[in-house]
């Protein structure tokens, strides 16, 4: 059997009891506050992870926007290249284009009253005309006007056209000079 002796004074016993109660309260308080502390740490970690995720999403969005802008610029670049190629092709076509309008203007000025042109045919720079003149003199005047014109050369009227004096059906051919046909 065990015998216990109580030799401590009453105030010391009360103090030890209070200290023990205080320690238990502290332990209970720590055990009560520990889950809150862990929860706060978890919340800070979640906040930190969400902040990082937001930054990643923002940078991905910015990269996507830049890529869209790059694709749009690339599309415009291709369109401009195609337009430039088309423009160069048009310039090449226009450079080789013959301006027959100017020749018709010269021909109209050189045709005297009483001469009617019925047909116009050409091969390269050679022109073949068919028409009617009221008189042989008007046909000769037409031939002379064509010979004087700086855009025409080698004017040829067959002698068979000059046999009839009035209501002359004629054919004539001439060569158009290259510089008169080139586009300005």
Q: Rounded CA gap, 158 and 143, in Å?
A: 11
Judged against a pLDDT cut of 70, whether residue 46 lies above it is answered with yes
User: Of 145, 140, 139, which is closest to residue 167 (Cα–Cα)?
Assistant: 139
- Pick the more confident residue, 61 or 102: 61
Percent of the chain residues past pLDDT 90, beyond the cut: 41
Q: pLDDT at position 79, please?
A: 93
* Segment 101-115 mean pLDDT: 84
Query: What residue spans define the domains of the chain?
Result: 11-96, 100-181
Measured CA distances, 133 to 114, 115, 120, 121, 151 (Å): 6, 4, 15, 18, 22
Please give the helix or strand (H or E) that residue 134 lies within, else none.
Answer: strand 126-135
173 CB contacts (<8 Å, ≥6 apart)?
126, 127, 128, 129, 154, 155, 156
Please give the helix or strand (H or E) that residue 167 lies within, else none.
Answer: strand 166-176
Judged against a pLDDT cut of 70, whether residue 57 lies above it is answered with yes
* Segment 5-34 mean pLDDT: 89
* Segment 96-118 mean pLDDT: 82
Confidence of residue 183 (pLDDT cuts 50, 70, 90): low
Query: Alpha helix locations (H) across the chain?
Result: 10-96, 100-110, 136-148, 178-181
* Segment 117-128 mean pLDDT: 86
* Segment 146-150 mean pLDDT: 85
**Residue reference for tokens 């090449």:** 92
Q: Rounded CA gap, 78 and 61, in Å?
A: 25
Confidence of residue 85 (pLDDT cuts 50, 70, 90): very high
Q: pLDDT at position 105, please?
A: 82
Output phi, psi for 111, to 5 deg: -80, 120
CATH topology of domain 100-181: Gyrase A; domain 2 (3.30.1360)
- Pick the more confident residue, 117 or 39: 39
**141 half-sphere exposure, CB direction, 13 A CA radius:** 13
**Residue reference for tokens 């906040």:** 47
Measured CA distances, 3 to 6, 60, 95, 128 (Å): 10, 79, 131, 153
* Segment 131-155 mean pLDDT: 87
- Pick the more confident residue, 72 or 139: 72
Task: Give, as one character, the DSSP assignment of residue 5.
Answer: -
């Amino acid at each position: 059997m065990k015998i216990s002796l109580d030799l401590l004074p009453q105030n010391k016993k009360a103090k030890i009891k209070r200290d023990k109660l205080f320690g238990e309260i502290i332990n209970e308080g720590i055990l009560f506050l520990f889950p809150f502390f862990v929860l706060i740490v978890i919340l800070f970690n979640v906040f930190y992870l969400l902040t990082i995720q937001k930054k990643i999403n923002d940078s991905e969005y910015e990269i996507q926007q830049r890529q869209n802008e790059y694709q749009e610029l690339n599309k415009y670049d291709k369109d401009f290249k195609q337009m430039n190629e088309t423009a160069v092709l048009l310039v090449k076509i226009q450079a080789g284009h013959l301006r027959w309008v100017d020749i018709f203007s010269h021909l109209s000025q050189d045709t005297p009253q009483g001469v009617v042109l019925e047909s116009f045919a050409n091969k390269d720079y050679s022109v073949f005309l068919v028409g009617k003149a009221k008189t042989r003199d008007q046909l000769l005047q037409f031939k002379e006007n064509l010979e004087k014109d700086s855009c025409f050369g080698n004017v040829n009227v067959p002698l068979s056209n000059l046999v009839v004096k009035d209501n002359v059906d004629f054919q004539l051919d001439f060569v158009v000079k290259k510089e008169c046909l080139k586009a300005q």
